[in-house]
Structure 1
Amino acid sequence: PLSQVSDPVFASESMGKGAAVEPTEGAIYAPCDGEVTLVANTGHALGMMSDAGCEVLLHIGIDTVELKGAPFTAHVNAGDHVKAGQLLMEADLDQIKAAGKAATTMVIVTNSDDFKSIEGTSGAVVAGASLVKLSK
């Protein structure tokens, strides 16, 4: 649950509701079909607008902006249209952890107020599986 993330900004859901993942591999996949709206120059964050009108922020790690892009490799650019399950980014989890940072990855619906409910799933997550369920 997002409420259990060690960063108080994400845990408070002030940026939106969603879910968090403790990654076991460094591949970050698209959670939905949509357009990439932002790839942070530091690689630690990526924004999307889903085809269904959901604004999604993928934030890789906690305080990883301080790593200035070193552990991240983007495979998409702003303006690209992607499909759910498509590789977006790779992150060197060992490098993140060696820097003393958590690799916890947040998936935030930044336009949460547009939805009646947003529920994160629990348990193991695999690419292409639903992580967050939305209802209008």
Structure 2
Amino acid sequence: MRSEEDCGRWINQLAHQIKRRMDARLAGMGVTGVQGRVLHYIMDKCKEGPVFQRDVEQAFTLRRSTATGILQLLEKNGLIRRESVPSDARLKSLVPTEKAGGIHLGMRECIRETEALLTRGVDPDELRVFLQVAKQMSKNLGS
């Protein structure tokens, strides 16, 4: 297989381009792209109920240590706090702070702009097929 036809190469290239763009756009807000995406996830999911570290790990297919590092930085920067759960003192729910609200709006806009740029000129049917294929590839890799 030629390098231009290597799925992994293209996925890796896209991931790096998205990461660089998100990091550059969010730098002024004091978060990286990954921290912003995790914060965005927490802010959206906490409307449905408590959000825990394991939820973040599963949603982003992160190792525990990686998720811990991201969440510790968000906590250190005053964007989330961990609160004990009355039913189980060992569990700590992730709660966004007021400071996170402003970043969340910026993050939402950054995601919207990045998605629009990423999919510009892509036929909706082709995009649907791409998403189906990407989900199947992820499933194939066991995530």
Could you say whether these structures have the same fold, taking a TM-score greater than 0.5 normalized by the shorter chain as the test? Answer: no
Task: Give the number of the structure with larger relative contact order, counting CA–CA contacts within 8 Å between residues 6 or more apart.
Answer: 1
Q: TM-score scaled to structure 1, two decimals? A: 0.28
Higher Cα Rg, which structure? 2
Name the structure where strand makes up a greater proportion of residues. Answer: 1
Q: TM-score scaled to structure 2, two decimals? A: 0.27
